[in-house]
């Protein structure tokens, strides 16, 4: 089996690559070759059980799509995108990378004869915008309130139409907000959801800009990788024509997040969270979804983290070697 990963230098891309190295297969099919692609050349994994190409490619350019599909990969994980904040600031770049990039990839696939790969596409709950019913059902309409969400929603429509026409075998994975994101504090409006867990566990203060009753929809990086792997192997006919799925997640209020941190790591850690209300962030977050039914994805075998404590423990295990600064 041959695999391509776009956005392979990103956080999820790196973790997905690690998982492919660990498993050496998807389902029962051994992986022979993996191409890792990103706007910077991805660092290849050490001692992989398959051949690896690491490619610097701008997915906003059609020739990149032709290059990535030339080897006729069986599975393409399309994670490459610019993030929400950047897509909002740079309108042209957002459309070029997040919309045209996906369309180029679909067109490059369609241009090849007798070729119909599984394309696992990273979408986002940003395709939804307030006001919402609670919980948000699987048949709720796309009402993005950002250019990023618009671009992902357009990509979802294209993925379904190209699949319906038999040009590709697409699965759209609508990710919850990923928590806990490793690395340095992020300036994204959603960054605080990860910051208030990651920083206290590292012995540092974290600032909470919203009230504790804010509820949101989360998945660990480990679950996100599980979603992509499961999406690569799933039977497309069982999914039917509605190929884009809201992934199951953990609905938690900030208060529940803090309580989970307290139960897992103790009072001293939880007390490192400092209240610092920020009106601008509160306004942005007010437009975000709270919780979803995600029934279809669950029926199709996609599984969420058990609860928010499990999300915290996944971070401690995967990023901190099992311990933290008490």
Shortest Cβ distance from residue 91 to a copy of itself (Å)?
7
| Contact of 264 with 316, CB cutoff 8 Å | yes
State the residues that interact with a copy of itself by CB under 8 A.
91, 129, 133, 139-145, 147, 150, 153-154, 157-158, 160-161, 164-165, 241-242
Shortest Cβ distance from residue 167 to a copy of itself (Å)?
9
Cβ neighbors of 277 (< 8 A, separation 6 or more) are: 209, 210, 211
Shortest Cβ distance from residue 285 to a copy of itself (Å)?
17
Q: Determine phi and psi for 246, rounding to 5 degrees.
A: -75, 120
Shortest Cβ distance from residue 110 to a copy of itself (Å)?
8
Which is nearest to 17 in space by CA: 38, 210, 285, 70? 38
User: 163 or 257, CB closer to a copy of itself?
Assistant: 163
Shortest Cβ distance from residue 308 to a copy of itself (Å)?
28
Which is nearest to 302 in space by CA: 242, 225, 241? 225
Catalytic residue among 95, 115, 148, 162: 148
Reply yes or no on whether 148 is catalytic: yes
CA distance 166 to 185: 43
Integer CA distances (angstroms), 156 to 131, 232, 299, in order: 21, 16, 20
In this structure, the dihedral spanned by the alpha carbons of residues 251, 255, 261 and 264, taken in order and rounded to 10 degrees, is -80
User: 99 or 251, CB closer to a copy of itself?
Assistant: 99
Which is nearest to 306 in space by CA: 248, 221, 238? 248
User: 111 or 303, CB closer to a copy of itself?
Assistant: 111
User: 23 or 91, CB closer to a copy of itself?
Assistant: 91
Bridge partners of 218, per DSSP, are 177, 250
Residues 300, 301, 302, CA angle at the centre, nearest 5°?
Answer: 105
For CA atoms 251, 252, 257, 263, give the dihedral sign.
negative
Shortest Cβ distance from residue 149 to a copy of itself (Å)?
9
User: 242 or 275, CB closer to a copy of itself?
Assistant: 242
Which is nearest to 5 in space by CA: 77, 104, 61, 75? 77
User: 155 or 199, CB closer to a copy of itself?
Assistant: 155
3-state secondary structure of 36: strand
CA distance 255 to 238: 38
Catalytic residues: 148
């Amino acid at each position: 089996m041959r695999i391509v990963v776009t956005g392979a230098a990103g956080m999820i891309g790196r973790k997905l690559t690690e998982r492919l190295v660990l498993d050496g297969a998807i389902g029962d099919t051994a992986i022979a070759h993996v191409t890792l692609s990103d706007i910077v050349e991805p660092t290849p994994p050490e001692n992989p059980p398959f051949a690896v190409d690491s490619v610097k490619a701008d997915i906003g350019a059609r020739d990149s799509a032709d290059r990535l599909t030339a080897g006729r990969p069986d599975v393409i994980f399309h994670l490459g995108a610019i993030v929400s904040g950047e897509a909002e600031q740079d309108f042209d770049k957002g459309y070029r990378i997040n919309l045209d990039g996906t369309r180029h990839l679909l067109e490059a696939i369609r241009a090849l004869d007798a070729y119909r790969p599984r394309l696992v596409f990273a979408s986002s709950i940003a395709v939804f915008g307030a006001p919402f019913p609670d919980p948000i059902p699987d048949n709720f309409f796309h009402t993005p309130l950002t250019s990023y969400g618009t671009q992902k929603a357009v990509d979802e429509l294209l993925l379904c139409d190209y699949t319906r026409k038999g040009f590709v075998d697409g699965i759209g994975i609508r990710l919850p907000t990923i928590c806990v994101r490793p690395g340095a504090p992020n300036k994204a409006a959603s960054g605080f959801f990860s910051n208030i867990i990651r920083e206290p566990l590292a012995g540092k203060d974290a600032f909470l800009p919203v009230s504790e009753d804010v509820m949101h929809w989360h998945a660990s990086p480990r679950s996100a990788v599980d979603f992509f792997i499961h999406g690569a192997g799933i039977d497309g006919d069982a999914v039917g024509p509605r190929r884009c799925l809201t992934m199951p997640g953990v609905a938690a209020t900030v208060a529940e997040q803090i309580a989970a941190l307290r139960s897992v790591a103790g009072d001293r850690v939880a007390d490192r969270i400092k209240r610092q209300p920020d009106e601008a962030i509160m306004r942005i977050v007010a437009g975000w979804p709270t919780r979803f039914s995600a029934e279809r994805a669950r029926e199709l075998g996609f599984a969420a983290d058990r609860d928010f404590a499990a999300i915290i423990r996944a971070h401690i295990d995967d990023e901190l070697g099992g311990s933290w600064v008490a």
